[in-house]
Structure 1
Amino acid sequence: MNTTTTPQPHEPRPADRATTARRTTAHDWIPDQPGAWAMALLPALAGMVVGGPNAATVWLFAAWMLCYCVQFTAARWIRSRFARRYLPPTVIYTVLLVMVGLPFVIVHPGVLWWAPLYLVLAALSFAAAWLRRERTLWGNAVAIVAACAMAMVVASFGTLANGAALPALANGGLPATVVFLLVQFGSVLFVKTMIRERGNRTYLLASWGWHAVLAAVTFGLWGALGFGLLFVALAIDAAWLMARAIALPLIARRRRLRPVVVGMVELVSSLLTFVAVITTF
């Protein structure tokens, strides 16, 4: 008797079929991590404050919120290998972004100076989604640069930049961007020590070292300025960041902390950094 079987075409795994077939839900439209919202939007909001709020900065901030929604939904669509459930949010947010963003470009064509940077960052972000490497250090770094640079982008359209030869350098946008970059990359290292790389000594030492240098530089600048009021908020922020980077991993050795606890701690950290930036610059 012939027992040879005819090769069958590859069938998706049950999990893949479920992901593809499931209907679009509210969770597919809105990022459900408050800490991620804070890290993505607070730099742009800080840029609006330190640059001098006006109609242009509010408009640009709204466009950036839609950019974040497009990136979030499109990345999930790409990561899922174009599952239909993720397509409606991607399309709707993209249409809204065009409706809000295109008129801004027409009225403020100077924003196109930033286009090369964000085209590269978008390409890298979607490549990370396709490769399913968004959680790697380089994938995190791409998201951090995109979010933090918005402090400088938004500030360059503020009232304090009016008439400046180099609007991006005319106010506190650049130092705000630098502070957010340093803090957010430290946040990535800290979160990894608490969740994905819990127990990894290399990541723990990297996190402690990063925050120690950040605190040393901050207190050094504060001292160089005579320990005046200017750097008080940044010094407090640096001390808090260092304390939580040391204390929570030590606590987690004896008692496992849920990711939601880590997320809320980082939400507080982001808010403290935001307050420090807008009161300093």
Structure 2
Amino acid sequence: MKVLIPKQHGAWAMLAVPFILGVVGGGADGRHVPLFIGWLFLYLAAFPVTMMVKKKKTAYYQKWAGVYSIPAVSFLVIAVWMEPGLVLLGVSLFPLFLINLYYAKTNNDRALLNDVAAIGVFSAGGVASYWIGAGMLDGWAWFIFIQSILFFTGSAFYVKSMIREKKNKRFKWYSWGYHTVLPILSLGFGAGWAVVGLIPSSIRAWLFYGRKLSVKKIGIFELVNACVFLTVVSVFLLRI
């Protein structure tokens, strides 16, 4: 039996990077293990659910939604038992997931707003992991959340400008405009010298646009860029 694994490669970075930043900022704790396992399987379960909404191979995706939901619920219950406040965080994310379901239902899941909603959900993983490690929510939890949203929104703009919207000149200016203000927004939300981690995003958006890069190369560059962001912001958090 072939295991169902989402092919949304960028989503894996969105899943991991904010969570790791939360661990770095809040402090590593053994409770991160069940939280991350539950978070991972929740993502794996959400993918077939969106496919079910599209009414594609419903029975097949129902099976995998069930397979992944069992460990997701089991490990998240453990995490919530250790930090009950996580329930509130989960409830607050539900409207964003409804946005994802809506765009899946309308077969428009490549829409930018859908991407931003998903980015918000993934970035909240950093809030959860920080909360578990620090035992509280403070400004640094929201710093991780906002900086992650800023970074990955830039990634969404860039990838669309290189693939789906590569012939859309108006979208090019949207992407360039966002990446022009990206460092300013990052600084405005307290990045300090960690803004260095977002500058490569702006540079690649300007320099790479219009170049004939394969989807694979675009993905590799984005992975490297995410690693740069993760490294710089992690060092910044360790020095506060």
**TM-score normalized with structure 1 length:** 0.77
Q: What letter corresponds to residue 182 of structure 1 in structure 2?
A: L
- One of 215, 218, 241 as aligned partner of 2:183: 215
1:58 and 2:33 aligned: yes
Which residue of structure 1 lines up, in the alignment, with residue 207 of structure 2?
247
Which residue of structure 2 lines up, in the alignment, with residue 257 of structure 1?
213
- One of 66, 76, 94 as aligned partner of 2:51: 76
Equivalent residues in 2 for 1:1-281, closer than 5 Å? 25-26=2-3, 29-81=4-56, 83-158=58-133, 161-162=134-135, 167-169=136-138, 172-217=140-185, 231=193, 233-235=194-196, 237-250=197-210, 252=211, 256-281=212-237
Q: What letter corresponds to residue 69 of structure 2 in structure 1?
A: T
1:84 is displaced (CA, Å) by: 2.0
C-alpha distance after superposition, 1:121-156 (max 9, x if no partner): 222222221222221011111100001122112101
Question: For structure 2, which runs of at least 5 residues remain unmatched after alignment?
Answer: none
- Tell me how many residue pairs correspond in the alignment: 237
Q: State the distance in 2 between where 1:129 and 1:83 align.
A: 14
Residue identity (%): 25
Which of 1 and 2 has greater Rg?
A: 1
1:189 is displaced (CA, Å) by: 0.8
CA separation of 1:62/1:258 partners in 2, compared to 1, >3 Å: closer, same or farther?
same
Q: Is the 1:234–1:280 contact (alpha carbons within 8 Å) kept by the matching residues of 2?
A: no
CA separation of 1:115/1:239 partners in 2, compared to 1, >3 Å: closer, same or farther?
closer
Q: Is the 2:147–2:186 contact (alpha carbons within 8 Å) kept by the matching residues of 1?
A: no
Q: Is the 1:35–1:264 contact (alpha carbons within 8 Å) kept by the matching residues of 2?
A: no
C-alpha distance after superposition, 1:232-274 (max 9, x if no partner): x531x23311111011113x2xxx3221111111111111111
1:215 is displaced (CA, Å) by: 2.7
1:105 is displaced (CA, Å) by: 2.2
1:218 is displaced (CA, Å) by: 5.1
Q: State the distance in 2 between where 1:78 and 1:219 align.
A: 39
Q: State the distance in 2 between where 1:249 and 1:200 align.
A: 11
Question: For structure 1, which runs of at least 5 residues remain unmatched after alignment?
Answer: 1-23
Q: What letter corresponds to residue 169 of structure 1 in structure 2?
A: D
CA separation of 1:64/1:219 partners in 2, compared to 1, >3 Å: closer, same or farther?
closer
C-alpha distance after superposition, 1:32-60 (max 9, x if no partner): 34322112221112111211010222321
1:82 is displaced (CA, Å) by: 5.2
Q: State the distance in 2 between where 1:122 and 1:65 align.
A: 15
CA-atom RMSD in angstroms: 2.2
CA separation of 1:238/1:258 partners in 2, compared to 1, >3 Å: closer, same or farther?
same
